[in-house]
Chain A
Amino acid sequence: MIRLLKIELRKIATYRAFWLITGLYAFLLAFLIFGIPGLIDYIAEKTPNNTQIRIFKAIVFNFPDIWQNITFVASLRYFIKIIIGIIVIITITNEFTFQTIRLNIVNGMSRSDFILSKLQFIILLSLASTLIIFLSGLYLGLMYSSAKEFSLIFSKSIFLLAYFIEISTYLIFALFIGILIKKTGFSIIVFMLYLLIEPIIDYKIPDKYCPYLPLNAMNSLIRTPNTSLIKIKSPGFNYDFQEFLAISDVAICLGYAALFIGLIYLILKKRNL
């Protein structure tokens, strides 16, 4: 098992493009983590009546709700997770551009091995991404949370698991697009375009089907946090708090992951490499 991951890591170990994009991701993330508290302060300073913003800052980083807040922001579909999606697309489409998928198969990988090696790589990327979110949350919480009891800190960390499931499914979706299209540039365009297309589909079809669209399904794992501005701005508004993950949401999301993996397998089995 580890052998396949080792092969996959060797492919990118000295690949400059991979490290550049990963560096960009890390830079943006660090910028956000260290910048957001300051940004909130800055906005508060510029706003004459800033009580709501001050309250917002006081509760948004609170344990344990910070886990929902931070994973919600990290999994926003138009946000930095696109960068990891692009990393996956580049690594898979490279195998077709350089025909190195043939190198792998001819030398003794089965097609399932090849898919498995990519999936392991995705799991590793997702774990790394989740770890970064965890560390960021821990840092922000310890800096700004009013409550710092150990039991509180980890009580809602189930949202980290939700983030892991979501980002894994999202990256498997990226892998699927890369394998389907093969060309790097075109795959990235289709991947980004789908972000715009799904809301249109969402608008056109009856509401009851909307949660079943792939990106909606992924995003609905972590709902809009109860500590959002909505609650603060309208204290009387009875917002539906999300305390636990809904099993049905997880099932739909994992169902999509399984569907994409199945399609990837079928495509590679049928295709002449």
Chain B
Amino acid sequence: METVLSIKKLSKRYGRIHAVSNLSLNIEKGNIFGLLGPNGSGKTTTLGIILDVVNANNGSYHWFGKNPCKESRRKIGAILEQPVFYPYLSALKNLMIVADIKKVSYSEIKKVLNTVRLFERRNSKFKTFSYGMKQRLAIASALLGNPEVLIFDEPTNGLDPQGIAEIRDLILNIASQGMTIILASHLLDEVQKTCTHVAVLKEGKKLFSGNVNDVLNISDTIEIASNNLEVLSIAVNEYDKIISVKKEGNLLIVKLSEGTSTSDLNNYLISKGIVLSHLSMKKKNLEKHFFEILKESK
């Protein structure tokens, strides 16, 4: 695998606040990498550092295996927290400035404006755009010059439901073309629906990172109950395909090892002469896992 971005022990302090502390990450080519965390967890600061608008106190990062430089930034399309353009210039003029900076031919502008359906409004001033249109123009600007990596910082923030759906479709569409994408979001749903990999941040620290599917598999849990919970508990604990058992009220919360199904568990219990009064599988989503990770870290 080719590493697109590697971050080593990055730290950033604002006064006494540690916005990012000792963060290390590797992002491989083709990943759709979610940076997940509540507001103030250091996502935007991290993106600011790797885009050279924020100075880190410690640590280093490398793009495409090289020290960061302006040439590597030209291979990255980035959407910052808010769509940023010259308000008094038209959409077209704004994109021409970006094309000049990125050393991209103007002929690409039409293509990206069509992708985000803004070509008809190309001569309107940026300040006359609605928020959704501004965000779409930001995506168009990020797409200029066929970048190898796209960075989205809270791309659906402040949009109405229709706008959110549009932007997500756009991202998924772009992702399907095999680009590496880094997506910062506080919305688990968004990360779950779009990302292949995820790193969970809290107060600037990385709590967890890995493949999104791994996270989902590990976190499937099963609730079971029977007339005699203690007998059930002993029997379940003897079962060798169990990862963990937890008692919650008059239910047992069971995690099964990978490849073991609920019917396997049920068959085993029946063979022990135990009849279940309750069996339900909780396909746990990233959201619960996320909150669990956050809680555990306290």
Distance (Å) between the CB of B281 and the closest chain A CB? 45
> Is there a chain B Cβ closer than 8 Å to A98's Cβ?
yes
Closest to B94 in A: A103
- The 8 A CB mask of A91-125 against B (1 = contact, 0 = none) is 00010001110111111111001000000000000
A residues in contact (CB < 8 Å) with B: 3, 6-7, 10-11, 13-17, 94, 98-100, 102-110, 113, 270-273
Residue pair A106, B97 in contact (C-beta under 8 Å): no
* Chain A positions within 8 Å of B93 at CB level: 10, 13-14
> Is there a chain A Cβ closer than 8 Å to B96's Cβ?
yes
Report the separation of the CA atoms of residues A271 and B88 in the bound assembly, to the nearest whole angstrom: 26
Using known A-B contacts A100-B86, A102-B80, determine if residue A109 contacts B101 with beta carbons closer than 8 Å.
yes
Report the separation of the CA atoms of residues A23 and B148 in the bound assembly, to the nearest whole angstrom: 44
Q: Can you name 27 A-B residue pairings with CB atoms under 8 Å? A: A3-B100, A3-B103, A10-B100, A13-B93, A14-B90, A14-B93, A15-B86, A16-B88, A94-B86, A98-B84, A99-B80, A102-B53, A102-B84, A103-B85, A103-B97, A106-B52, A106-B80, A107-B74, A107-B98, A107-B101, A108-B71, A108-B73, A108-B74, A109-B70, A109-B101, A110-B69, A273-B54
* Chain B positions within 8 Å of A272 at CB level: 48, 53-55
Closest to B90 in A: A14
Distance (Å) between the CB of A82 and the closest chain B CB? 23
Report the separation of the CA atoms of residues A17 and B101 in the bound assembly, to the nearest whole angstrom: 24
* Chain A positions within 8 Å of B97 at CB level: 7, 10-11, 103
Q: Which residue of A16, A94, A104 contacts B101 across the interface (Cβ within 8 Å)?
A: A104
Residue pair A107, B102 in contact (C-beta under 8 Å): yes
8 shortest interchain CB distances as A-B pairs: A108-B74, A273-B53, A107-B101, A108-B73, A110-B70, A272-B54, A99-B84, A7-B100
> Is there a chain A Cβ closer than 8 Å to B210's Cβ?
no
Q: Which residue of A16, A100, A113, A271 contacts B84 across the interface (Cβ within 8 Å)?
A: A100
Using known A-B contacts A106-B73, A272-B48, determine if residue A10 contacts B96 with beta carbons closer than 8 Å.
yes
